[in-house]
Amino acid sequence: MKRLKGKALRRMLGIALALAASAAFADEQRGWDLALGLGVDYSPDYSGANSNSPRLRIWADGAYKTANYGTFALDSGSLTIAPEARWDFVDSTNYGLGLLIGYRSGRDDQDPKFASATDGSTRLRGLPDVADSLDYGIAGHVMIAGVPLFAQLRSAFSGSQGTILTAGLYLKFTPAQNFELTILPTVTAANARQMQAFYGVTPAASAASGFAVYQPGSGWQNAAIEIVGDWRISGAWHFVASIAYQRLLGKAADSPVVQTANQPSALAGVVYDF
């Protein structure tokens, strides 16, 4: 049931919101953009695992810029930033500020299946499951010396997950008419609740799992870089391929649950623009 719940939450933020947005915001002047994607990613079984598995990936990216009320956006195609629906009530080229509702996947003690939205591994048996989470937060961006910087602060509505702060750069290039290249370097910090959920081991969990007791506090969680290539292949159809590398840091990397701090992932899929 946890896997079905996680899958439903991801699709709610991806497909359902996207289709609702396209229906609500469509107008003669087309003030909106919407893209739906379908592909396969190859990601670590859980944060800190030294094994990767293929997963089905469905995502939606879009935006609707209003005349007086800012921009409504969907972002769910990244390998390094969790899906979100966002209202940027202040939105210009040089700066912006908004509110978001997002989704973060959880973790259990089962090896992930192809259609799983939840991470996991049988290696983690004895540790408590980490439930999928809806979260809320704020996001902003600013242009400094021609370089776009962004940051977002997200906190779980409920459950064992906590708060994360992510900051980074969003660099987009167009080397050819039908090809876009995006580079997304980020760093993420987490509070003690978030670190404990994914990297901590309580005395009770230690007795059940065999992992040493470990109680990390707040600190840096990871540094990451993602590179995305987008090729327009025919009309509204695109081929998208991305690679990402995350390096767990500090107290996250030192967890007995972590097999390796190096976390590579990749994605390939097709996208249709509406």
Most confident of 6-15, 29-38, 234-243: 234-243
Domain boundaries, the chain: 2-273
> What gap in Å lies between CA 13 and CA 134, rounded to an integer?
10
Higher pLDDT, 20 or 47: 47
Asked if 209 and 124 touch (Cβ cutoff 8 Å), the reply is yes
CA neighbor of 187 nearest in space, from 80, 45, 75, 79: 80
The reported pTM is 0.87
Mind listing the pLDDT tens digit for each residue in 262-272? 999 999 999 99
Mind listing the pLDDT tens digit for each residue in 221-267? 999 999 999 999 999 999 999 999 999 999 999 999 999 999 999 99
Handedness of CA 65, 70, 76, 79 (dihedral sign): positive
Asked if 13 and 85 touch (Cβ cutoff 8 Å), the reply is yes
Contacts of 63 (CB under 8 A, 6+ apart): 32, 33, 71, 72, 73, 74
The CATH number of domain 2-273, selected from 1.10.10.10, 2.40.160.40, 3.40.50.920, 3.40.50.620: 2.40.160.40
Structure token digits, residue 99: 């509110």
> What gap in Å lies between CA 217 and CA 251, rounded to an integer?
7
Structure token digits, residue 177: 């008419």
Q: How many CB atoms lie within 10 A of CB 16?
A: 12
